[in-house]
Amino acid sequence: AQSVTQLGSHVSVSEGALVLLRCNYSSSVPPYLFWYVQYPNQGLQLLLKYTSAATLVKGINGFEAEFKKSETSFHLTKPSAHMSDAAEYFCAVSDPGGGADGLTFGKGTHLIIQP
């Protein structure tokens, strides 16, 4: 069974500072990995995805994430936080083996941007 752990239910950074949101996964096979962002009262928007190509993945809005198999991690980073980045961020994993799996999500990290 797959699982996702997001360390820190809330992360607070100053505007212009580095954003680091942590995600660790557990999977029996090399998974596909995703980061989604959710703004208040909205659905989920895909930020970026890892599907067994390059281990460093660039996404929208200046975010990127690095797949580290040895650490079973897929942490999300952004060099300089903007006020508009304040939102809920979800890491998710799917098993590419079966090809038809639903996503397994972490509990989410609420990103707070301090002015």
Partner 1 sequence: DAGVTQSPTHLIKTRGQQVTLRCSPKSGHDTVSWYQQALGQGPQFIFQYYEEEERQRGNFPDRFSGHQFPNYSSELNVNALLLGDSALYLCASSFDMKTQYFGPGTRLLVL
Contact code string over 51-90 relative to partner 1, x by CB under 8 A: x--------------------------------------x
How far is residue 64 from each of residues 34, 43, 92, 94, measured CA to CA in Å? 11, 21, 15, 19
Residue 31 interacts with partner 1 (CB under 8 A): yes or no: no
Closest of 35, 58, 56 to residue 106, by C-alpha:
35
Closest of 58, 112, 115 to residue 85, by C-alpha:
112
Residue 106 interacts with partner 1 (CB under 8 A): yes or no: yes
Residues lying near partner 1 in the complex (CB under 8 A): 4, 32, 34, 36, 42-46, 49, 51, 90, 92, 94, 96, 98-108
